[in-house]
Amino acid sequence: MLYLTCNADTAIAICHPHSLKKNKKPISPTQAHTLPHFAYSDILAATNAFSAHTFLGKGGHGSVYKATLHGGALIAAVKKTKSSNEIEILSHVKSPRLVNLIGLCNDQTNCNINKLIVVEYMPNGSLHDLLHSTKTVGSPGWTARVRFAVHVAIAVRFLHSSEPPVIHRDIKSSNVLIDEKWKARLGDFGLAFRGHVADSRVPPAGTLGYLDPSYLAPGDLSPKSDVFSFGILLLEIASGRHAIDVRHSPPSLLDWAMPLVRRGEFREICDPRIGTPPDMATFRRMMVLAARCVMSTAERRPTIAEVVECLTAARKNFEAPVMWLRMTGRVVKARGYPIPE
């Protein structure tokens, strides 16, 4: 997916960046060694000047358009942002589990702001849409859901182990995108913090329902804040419920799920659309892990490395029946979502 930001005010995502003309203008030192430039005029033409008929939708941090360039269909995401933070973060990190930065656009003549960032295109939408949209053909099964959880945990582990570390600060299902191989990637680094937490001066930020309640001041920021958000995401993946949903009582996923975990009523947490997990013992361990992630005291939460270890083991248990089906020659598809080899 490609993602472009104009003066940190607009970001565009398109695919096939090599179809675009390279802009020879200099870029900042942090990007000069790796990132190409693209002509804004080509981006504008590819999206028909971001016209209404190319508009695909709007998310929390941007609008999505379809771009057509040189006879090829290109998907573009246009996103407004208040700072160049996302460019700064993405120019320093790259991983198969992230929605990575590909290039920039810097054309003040054609753009009333400065920069556009181009990131990889994710053709299969967001995890939020897969879990909650009524337009999807069925909801992902348990094997796919556990796999997505592992992918996101690996992405967060990569960020936390970077030097200096990166804390995402906005982990949620709508920021988890699904690539062409049905693997989950973590995107949207508009709120991310890169550096050591002792140096943090940024005010608390995040999304209601996912935000760490112990993160009340800049000095409270910790990698465990991401762990809390991931714990909410894991409960969302398991239950199919929104982090906050006023149609339910209580509306908070956390307030609804934690009493069930404490009482050992794990089946009540399962998304009723897909039934009971194939390995209930493993599911119980996953929910206990989620409960540890959302502990009110950050110090009592696991590290993301421990989360990856636990979920990787859970994935193996969930995929054991799938491997048996493969060995017997049966066709394997989990509710329309292919299982990568």
Q: Assign 30 to helix, strand or coil.
A: helix
Kindly state the tokens that stand for 244: 């906050």
Report the run of H or E that residue 142 belongs to, with start and end.
helix 142-160
Burial 254-266 (b: 16+ CB within 10 A, else e): bebbbebbeeeeb
**Would you call 110 helix, strand, or coil by DSSP?**
coil
Task: Name the token pair of 128.
Answer: 């939020």
Burial of 51 (0-12, 13-18, 19+ CB in 10 A): exposed
80 known ligand binder: yes
Query: Using CA atoms, how far apart are residues 130 and 317, in angstroms rounded to an integer?
Result: 23
What amino acid positions are annotated as catalytic residues?
A: 170
Cα 181 to Cα 269: distance, rounded to the nearest angstrom: 28
DSSP string for residues in 173-210: GGGEEE-TTS-EEE---TT-EES-GGG--PPP---TTT
CB within 8 A of 97, min separation 6: which ones? 151, 152, 154, 155, 158, 183, 184, 185, 186
Q: Cα(first)–Cα(last) distance of the chain, in Å?
A: 23
Spatial separation of the C-alpha atoms in residues 171 and 187, rounded to whole Å = 9
Q: How far apart are CA 318 and CA 179, in angstroms?
A: 22
Question: Can you say which residues are annotated as belonging to the binding site?
Answer: 80
Question: Can you say which residues are annotated as belonging to the binding site for ATP?
Answer: 80
